[in-house]
Structure 1
Amino acid sequence: MNPLVSLAGMAMWLLAACGAAAAAPASPEFPITVAGLRLEALVRSINEGDARSLERLAAESFAQAEQDPAFAAGQADQLHRLFELTGGLSLRRIEASDTATLQVLAQAKATAAWYRLSLFATAAPPEFTRAAPPYKIVGFGVDAVTAPPALADSAVDDKQLRERLDRLLAQLVRRGGFAGVVQVQRGERTLYARAFGEADREARVPNGLNTRFNLASITKMFTAVAIGQLVEAGKLQLTDPVGRWLPELAGSELGQRVTVHHLLSHTSGVVGAREAIEKGLEPPSEATTLAQMAAPFVGAPLSFHPGQQFDYSNAGYVLLGAIIERAAGETYHAYVQRHVFDAAGMRETGFFMRPGRHPGRMAVGYKDGPGHQRVPNTADLPLIGTPAHMAFSTAGDMARFAAALYRGQLLRAELLDRFWTGVTEQPDGVEYGYGARIEQQDGRRIVWHGGGAPGATNRFEMVPAEGLTIVVLSNVDSEPAIIANKLREWLSPKDAAVLPASSKPPDLVLSMTQVEATTSARTGTTLEVQVSNRGGTAHAALVDVEIKDQAGRKVEQQIVADQRLGAGQTRIFRFEWTPDSPGRYRVDAGIFGPGWSKKLLFVEGLATIEVR
């Protein structure tokens, strides 16, 4: 859960990447453009910290405020919360600018944390880079980021690390931005371990180093390791279709086309996390078996062709848990307890049944409630955690988990390297492998996973080459990336390697075939769009397909985002379309940079479809 991000109006992208700065000698000026003037006014109002002024500014500046009477108050509330957390923002660097868009780096006055601010104003088509009336804000995003090597306050010694981390956490706790535990481990040495706030506010029980926290989605890392162990044992393969292990699904599209690889990498097309919430397909809270957990979503159609794109899916990991049960011959919870937790020496970690109150040494989660009050999340929790979320652990046990991975105790190095290699990538440069996110920063590979739910916000990071582990566990709605990012900055080498970006641009070619020879109205057809790249890699590209009738009206548009189109690579993307009426239709297709940021290629009249 991220209280710092707001989206408004048209579809937009939120860019979160590695780039910020330690104190710069002089602050830059906001550009004198529509986007620059809008963002300057926003930052000035945030820094004043007056909620009513923020609401007035939101009402007159954001396009969505005209359609939604409640928008301005909600936006002002989030912006005021940003002020409370940061103490105000100082502009440090202009990253990208045109008249309608602006992306800058800013630093929190109170905590020295770094943020990327992205603002999008109303713009003229087709490029949407030139501001146009009514010159209002249609998108605004705030992301916590890490300082770039050239400006980072890096290579601090152990004493400086403890002092700086103490100051940062004291500010966050005072501002209501953290309660929980932070542990930093390098090999056998504990560089920092300290707890803050209360595990149970009603009983006045403080958080401690032995407090168990709800890990939320970090649990997926345990599920991925369990799958890897069964692969090593020869009991299953990453290419196995779901139907091989779950024969009750063998006749379905899910059972035949989705593989273990797809589930691990969130590229299966199985119902995604957001869709599951919107359509009521989440596991029932009283479910105790994986069959009960999977029942709401196993009959749902796939959202896209497996392997074609990334869509974070809790449901997919529940299915992985069911496969573990069939391949291992024991329940998922029992297998992970014995072969992951016990094998790594994680004595305080497990899946615990929900009693009336939390059992001893388990933190109560406190979610944001009305009137800025924090209320217990206990009634919202499922009866027991799933393969996708809600194992409970301590900071010390998570450090032991990392150490067991570094030593090859849980998985052999060769397979672990495969699990920690990106399958997909996002606009911020973060890749997702098997149960882990991967970043290349300052020449170092950082493997991590977040865990977020109401009243539980966590970050678990590993730098395998250095035996470095960062654990941030919290039982309030907060942004643990603020802490993890500062730790990355302080612990990075002074002369960190900066990997050169490829200077060779992509050279893309598009072609299309229609799978079915003829198409009738109200009958589905499959379009195969082939993308060949004869130049440099296109990162996190967006493939856009538009179908237009004879009058030039757009009747269908489908998008596949966050695609890595490698040098010399050819990929095929499949799109399903069901025309409503007969006629001749034109297919246009294009490839754009991350989040529509740059047009790489657009072909009008790529193909013609005759519909009878």
Structure 2
Amino acid sequence: MRIAQPSLVACAFTTAFMLLGAALAPLAAQQAPAFKDESKIPDTPACKRALEVVDLINKGDHEKVRAYILEYFMPEYRDMAPMEEHLQVFDGIREESEGYDVHSVRVYDPPRPATNATIILRNHLTDSWEAIVLDVEEAAPYRIASLRFAPARTPSDMPPEKKLTDAEIAKQLDAYIDKLAAKDRFSGTALLAKDGKVFYTKAVGIANRDFMAPNKLDTKFNTGSMFKMLTAVAVAQLADAGKLSFDDKIGKYLGADWLVQPILDTVTIEQLLTHTSGLGSYFNETYDRSSRLLFRKVEDYKPLVIGDTLAFEPGSRWQYSNTGFLLLGAIVEKASGEDYFDYVRAHVTGPAGMKNTDCYELDLVNPNLAVGYDKERGPNGTIYRNNIFQHVLRGGPAGGGYTTVEDMLAFDAALRSGKLVSKEMLEKMWSPKNNSPTYGYGFGVYNSPIGRAVGHAGGFAGISAEFMMFLDAGYTWCVLSNYGNGASPVSNKVSNLIGRR
């Protein structure tokens, strides 16, 4: 599994929301620019560097990678992270692919700058299409300025893929997950349903490696930022009940013990919901230096937020914000008069029938919780490092709650039926907003070839979760993993298979 990724893939996987967007890439043809694929790779500096990077990944030689980074990465790009983290990223990409075959260069209309190259690759392990997207400086020696790997649409020179029935989708997905599990690339659970009826489930891997306890369908996994959807539903319920308005300034509900007054008087609830507030993340240096025991209730996070400033004028652009959703939890408490966790249990997970979903306090006994792991290269082979001392003691409004794939299907059913919020409110939540074209209120929103889709993802060390509802086609999928980035290969495969229905 990839760990410590800020060097190479920060652009692609900066947020959990973007992870879900990556999973939808094979489906999103109508949203992306026109392109054609050419088998002859041009001899441009950018293409040359891209092929060199692919060759390094295929060979897996640490010392050659180190020397290449020192010579051919621009200093400001190279110094974004320590060398060991760069090497870990190369290791992670190689482990998740077992190497690549080069297929073509992708040419876009309108064309991209000559300093950019997009090379289409075939992943040896997953057989999926991926792209290496690379930029170089404008003059010799043409050092690398940015680099990322991402899922890619099927090349234009490939024949159309065979249409699949639901039974065929299930069969192909099952074989694929078995392949990943056999190579220890996926540990977790998966569920697919059509019109609320399950037609595929799977549980593989180990939930707790200290005791070698296996994952089961009812194993509870940390969902990371996926829990933001539940916070958004709580806020929407209070709006439906007339206890708050999306246009309200947050200062109506929060005091100066949270943020300075000018921010309280400027930012709106809608801007928190859509990540357009300009606020950042409370996972900062103060958090890193603090005991996790200090953060158990929503109000406990005030010391991490009080010094936050605005990165831009609220509403003027989009920037993912964990702080924004933490504040929404505090607003839920003020508007409802209830503790955030009690409110979610009573009004969201309870009515939805989500019996195995909660923000558990991890210093208590909690049956059937998966422990998160990332794999590292050690002197004597693979090391599994758990995330117990990296993540929060208890999840909250911005993420970290636990759930099961079956509970997420219950959440899907409760949303679609209008049990949790009104149908009119759902349309508002699931519509793009100003400067937030692919994010509504706590849900990513997409247009795919099989219709509208909404959902969210979550990611952290040892945490990977992806959930998607296809509103028009009736499909629902959920993938939960206790390996960092473990859900992504499975979700990518699901999106490709569903796109062939």
* TMscore range, shorter length: 0.7 to 0.9
> What is the aligned partner in structure 2 of residue 454 from structure 1?
461
* Structure 1 residue 311: Cα displacement: 1.8
Whether the 8 Å contact between 1:8 and 1:64 is mirrored in structure 2 is no
Whether the 8 Å contact between 2:223 and 2:463 is mirrored in structure 1 is yes
> What is the aligned partner in structure 2 of residue 534 from structure 1?
none
Q: Find 1:415's aligned residue among 397, 406, 425.
A: 425
* Structure 1 residue 38: Cα displacement: 1.6
> What is the aligned partner in structure 1 of residue 404 from structure 2?
394
* Structure 1 residue 200: Cα displacement: 0.7
Aligned residues: 476
1:40 counterpart letter in structure 2: L
Q: Find 1:264's aligned residue among 259, 273, 282.
A: 273
Q: Which digits, 9 at most, give the CA deviation of each residue in 1:144-172, with x for residues without a partner?
A: 34548986646422332222212222232
Rg larger for = 1
Q: Find 2:263's aligned residue among 243, 246, 254.
A: 254
> What is the aligned partner in structure 2 of residue 75 from structure 1?
86
Q: Which digits, 9 at most, give the CA deviation of each residue in 1:457-481, with x for residues without a partner?
A: 1111110122211111011112423
> What is the aligned partner in structure 2 of residue 34 from structure 1?
45
Moved more, 157-166 or 395-404: 157-166
Q: Find 1:485's aligned residue among 482, 489, 492.
A: 492
When residues 223 and 33 of structure 1 are mapped into structure 2, their CA distance, relative to the original with a 3 A threshold, is same
When residues 142 and 12 of structure 1 are mapped into structure 2, their CA distance, relative to the original with a 3 A threshold, is closer
* Structure 1 residue 91: Cα displacement: 2.9
Q: Which digits, 9 at most, give the CA deviation of each residue in 1:314-338, with x for residues without a partner?
A: 1111111111111112111011001
1:237 aligns with 2:245: yes
TM-score, normalising length from structure 1? 0.71
Whether the 8 Å contact between 2:459 and 2:485 is mirrored in structure 1 is no
Whether the 8 Å contact between 1:146 and 1:486 is mirrored in structure 2 is no
Alpha-carbon distance in 1 for matches of 2:88, 2:119:
22
Alpha-carbon distance in 1 for matches of 2:297, 2:114:
55
> What is the aligned partner in structure 2 of residue 562 from structure 1?
none
Whether the 8 Å contact between 2:122 and 2:130 is mirrored in structure 1 is yes
> What is the aligned partner in structure 1 of residue 137 from structure 2?
122
Whether the 8 Å contact between 1:185 and 1:192 is mirrored in structure 2 is yes
When residues 10 and 330 of structure 1 are mapped into structure 2, their CA distance, relative to the original with a 3 A threshold, is closer
Q: Which digits, 9 at most, give the CA deviation of each residue in 1:495-541, with x for residues without a partner?
A: xxxxxxxxxxxxxxxxxxxxxxxxxxxxxxxxxxxxxxxxxxxxxxx
Whether the 8 Å contact between 2:372 and 2:463 is mirrored in structure 1 is yes
2:187 counterpart letter in structure 1: A
1:324 aligns with 2:339: no
> What is the aligned partner in structure 2 of residue 113 from structure 1?
128
TM-score, normalising length from structure 2? 0.85
1:139 aligns with 2:146: yes
Alpha-carbon distance in 2 for matches of 1:342, 1:311:
32
> What is the aligned partner in structure 2 of residue 289 from structure 1?
297
Alpha-carbon distance in 2 for matches of 1:217, 1:10:
17
Whether the 8 Å contact between 1:215 and 1:392 is mirrored in structure 2 is yes
Q: Which digits, 9 at most, give the CA deviation of each residue in 1:27-54, with x for residues without a partner?
A: 7122111111121222233223444444
Aligned residue for 1:319, secondary structure, equals helix
* Structure 1 residue 89: Cα displacement: 1.6
* Structure 1 residue 229: Cα displacement: 0.6
Q: Find 1:165's aligned residue among 159, 162, 173.
A: 173
Whether the 8 Å contact between 2:316 and 2:435 is mirrored in structure 1 is no
Whether the 8 Å contact between 1:50 and 1:80 is mirrored in structure 2 is no
Higher relative contact order (CA 8 A, sep 6+): 2
1:468 aligns with 2:479: no
Alpha-carbon distance in 2 for matches of 1:385, 1:106:
38
When residues 315 and 192 of structure 1 are mapped into structure 2, their CA distance, relative to the original with a 3 A threshold, is same
1:207 aligns with 2:215: yes
> What is the aligned partner in structure 2 of residue 179 from structure 1?
187
When residues 466 and 284 of structure 1 are mapped into structure 2, their CA distance, relative to the original with a 3 A threshold, is farther
Alpha-carbon distance in 2 for matches of 1:54, 1:28:
26
Alpha-carbon distance in 2 for matches of 1:67, 1:19:
28
Aligned residue for 2:421, secondary structure, equals coil
Unaligned runs of 5+ residues in structure 2 are 28-36
* Structure 1 residue 211: Cα displacement: 0.3
Aligned residue for 2:305, secondary structure, equals coil
When residues 68 and 400 of structure 1 are mapped into structure 2, their CA distance, relative to the original with a 3 A threshold, is closer
* Structure 1 residue 263: Cα displacement: 0.9
* Structure 1 residue 191: Cα displacement: 1.8
Q: Which digits, 9 at most, give the CA deviation of each residue in 1:109-151, with x for residues without a partner?
A: 221222221111121xxxxxxxx11222222111234548986
Alpha-carbon distance in 2 for matches of 1:83, 1:110:
10
* Structure 1 residue 227: Cα displacement: 0.5
* Structure 1 residue 453: Cα displacement: 1.4
> What is the aligned partner in structure 2 of residue 375 from structure 1?
385
Whether the 8 Å contact between 1:85 and 1:175 is mirrored in structure 2 is no
Whether the 8 Å contact between 1:449 and 1:461 is mirrored in structure 2 is yes
2:45 counterpart letter in structure 1: V
Alpha-carbon distance in 1 for matches of 2:274, 2:236:
13
Moved more, 32-41 or 89-98: 89-98
* Structure 1 residue 493: Cα displacement: 5.0
When residues 260 and 101 of structure 1 are mapped into structure 2, their CA distance, relative to the original with a 3 A threshold, is same
When residues 57 and 442 of structure 1 are mapped into structure 2, their CA distance, relative to the original with a 3 A threshold, is same
1:401 counterpart letter in structure 2: F
Alpha-carbon distance in 1 for matches of 2:175, 2:10:
39
When residues 64 and 342 of structure 1 are mapped into structure 2, their CA distance, relative to the original with a 3 A threshold, is same
Unaligned runs of 5+ residues in structure 1 are 124-131, 495-612
When residues 251 and 140 of structure 1 are mapped into structure 2, their CA distance, relative to the original with a 3 A threshold, is closer
* Structure 1 residue 450: Cα displacement: 0.9
* Structure 1 residue 60: Cα displacement: 3.8
Whether the 8 Å contact between 2:116 and 2:133 is mirrored in structure 1 is yes
Instruction: Choose between structure 1 and 2: higher helix proportion.
Output: 2
Alpha-carbon distance in 2 for matches of 1:435, 1:88:
36
Q: Which digits, 9 at most, give the CA deviation of each residue in 1:406-440, with x for residues without a partner?
A: 111111121111111122568xxx71111011121
Whether the 8 Å contact between 1:56 and 1:72 is mirrored in structure 2 is no
